[in-house]
Structure 1
């Protein structure tokens, strides 16, 4: 900042420097720790997921057995997704994540995500619906990263939507972008919380034990990397609608 030297009658300047080497080192240790833990967890989790998928194929169909196995498969996929979110968030923050873009069939993309979440929606009697234009369309993007975005949004909707509720997954296209939305009839989000909802660790005031975690922060960074934007429209007591866009200017790499 500038100040006036009384004796010399001329301006002076004070420069304050702060050494952040220790903070940077602690940050690196934290990131390395998360990286090591998440990588070590991936292998056994993939084994569990693989065997559950095999059991679903070979065990004779029975309502109770099928329900339990599908619930196990959903839980293992969800945990794997959370691990991926930790790794991806670190890469997104450091600018080291490269999109692996390819052509995506919009209807197949959302139908697959809907099917993966039926084991959770079923017991809560929540109706999952997909809505598309009359004519299906394809677009370019990173299918794994975008699946994590929709999965996080849908997972939050399933978490907060009451029994007997409904959730709508929708996709539409315009000349410049693709728009995907997840709409529910849950409790809604108060206006003061909407501005910070895409920040790390954001929580619902009424549900302190049911935060949004890394999920929405990762969603925001992923969407921006796809040349799009993400926002929420909500009314307390009526529900929420999360919407994000993907630029149609993305090419396949």
Structure 2
């Protein structure tokens, strides 16, 4: 809108330069747009364009231009106070005097644009009020032109001074553009709102033109025809009623469609709520069943622990007694091998039961119980190496030690022995004859880092993310264990507040590393096993 005003004002200035009455006056006998008014309109349009931008410097320039327009308008209005021939001669030399109507509207627009960025409530309301006032006044002059009422657009105190038609149209466009600079507020905000009220306002907006168009049509009919006035006004009322009925029907149809869509949306929302409620009830039922299953499993495991461990302890006591007696019997060596096999089988079953109980506790979301003490790490690693040394010797795997001296960690010794024994046992198991298994310990920022590296075939990347899952085993190693060792080892390390991870490349060996705190943590670890893995 400001751009259109710039073009129109420039055309008027061009008309004055070439002496074109068509550009400056439009219609003979009506007021002309004088050069001063055209210049003020161009300055106002420039201010509006600058204030519509995002650059702070441009907006400050827009405010300065708007204040210049306001001050210029005040000076122009001041020339109408008193009667000075000098003013008449000066304005005659400049092409004419700006009318009081034009100066007043420019003053309102200049002040409104200067308050465009006002943050206070008062400033925002003043901006809206002055811009809306300029819009209403310019629209009133346009209506007067439509009815050919000269008292609105001519100034009675000065002959030949008035507001031109294209001046009024430009001011109307600038007023509307000023209101659109803050579309979220005031009347414009109500019309542009996305809600039902904004939709209704936009639908009913054409109804504002019905009285104006009808009045102009009736006025022209009375002037240029011999129709009776009562007939003209009767036809006008009928036409206005028909048009208004159509406008209202159109708005009502749209609002009814929106209401129907709202009802459908509310029904969908209720259906979603019912589905969510059913889902919550189903989840609650499944949770209760899972809790019951978990309790039943724990009960079964408790029974297994009691009913199997005790007989196995009796079996191992018996194998120990037989071992002592066979030492004194002739030919007892052959029987001793059988007794040793029975003892190993019973020990394996006891270890498996312990693992199952640990796994059940971890599945229930509980950290394993620990008896923490400050332990020297080197003897701990040496003891674990001694446990797997016979297995490594039988297979031809070399054990290497890279243990730092003097390291201590806060840990449960039997539990960490269990972790080390598991990692070392797996390393020996998967390292080919002639390979090497290396245990190393280092200190790292308040923790002790323990690593077990082998020279085996390595672990594929696709399998590494599942190593610490319960019962998971690669298809080619499924026969070599229960799949609980790494799962429980990770749970033990997590309970200590540490972390267990793996680094491996196919064909380049595997390294398992875990950390232990040097001192007991201030608070128990809150991370779940799944989060740690």
Give the TM-score category using the shorter length: 0.7 to 0.9
Matching of residue 197 in structure 1 with residue 464 in structure 2: no
1:208 matched to 2:475? The reply is: no
Partner of 2:386: 115
Matched, 1:34 2:305: no
**Which of 480, 485, 496 lines up with 1:226 in the alignment?**
496
Q: Contact between 1:99 and 1:142, CA under 8 Å: does it hold in 2? A: yes
More helix by share: 2
Relative distance call for 1:96 and 1:137 in structure 2 (3 A) is: closer
Is 1:105 the counterpart of 2:376? The answer is: yes
**Structure 2 length as normaliser, TM-score?**
0.41
Higher relative contact order (CA 8 A, sep 6+): 1
Give the conservation status (yes or no) of the 8 Å contact 2:368–2:492: no
Kept in 1: contact 2:500–2:515 (CA 8 A)? yes
Q: CA deviation at 1:78?
A: 4.7
Deviations 1:97-153 (A, max 9, x none): 3211012121111111111112222211112222212x2322111112212111221
How far apart, in 2, do the equivalents of 1:116 and 1:250 lie? 27
Three-state SS of the structure 1 residue aligned to 2:456 is coil
Could you tell me how far 1:5 is from its partner in structure 2? 8.1
TM superposition shift of 1:44: 4.1
Measure how far apart 1:79 and its partner are.
Answer: 4.1
Contact 1:204 1:211 in 2 (8 A): no
Query: What stretches of structure 1 of length at least 5 have no aligned partner?
Result: none
Q: Which has the larger radius of gyration?
A: 2
Range with greater deviation from structure 2 (146-155 or 200-209): 200-209
Please say which of residues 159-168 and 180-189 is displaced more in the overlay.
Answer: 159-168
- Report Cα offsets for 1:193-246 as digits up to 9, x if no partner: 001110011212433323561111111121111111111111212211100111
Match for residue 401 of structure 2 among 113, 130, 145: 130
Indicate the larger mover: 201-210 or 229-238. 201-210
Label 1:139 to 1:23 Cα distance change in 2 as closer, same or farther (>3 A). Answer: closer
Distance in 2 of aligned mates of 1:216 and 1:112: 20
The CA RMSD over aligned residues, in Å, is: 3.2
TM-score (structure 1 length as normaliser): 0.81
Seen in structure 2, the aligned counterparts of structure 1 residues 231 and 46 have a Cα distance that, compared at 3 Å, is same
Q: Which has the larger strand fraction?
A: 1
Q: How far is 1:186 from its partner? A: 1.3
Aligned length: 243
- Aligned counterpart in structure 2 of residue 85 of structure 1, from 352, 355, 363: 355
CA contact (8 A) 1:179 1:243 kept: yes
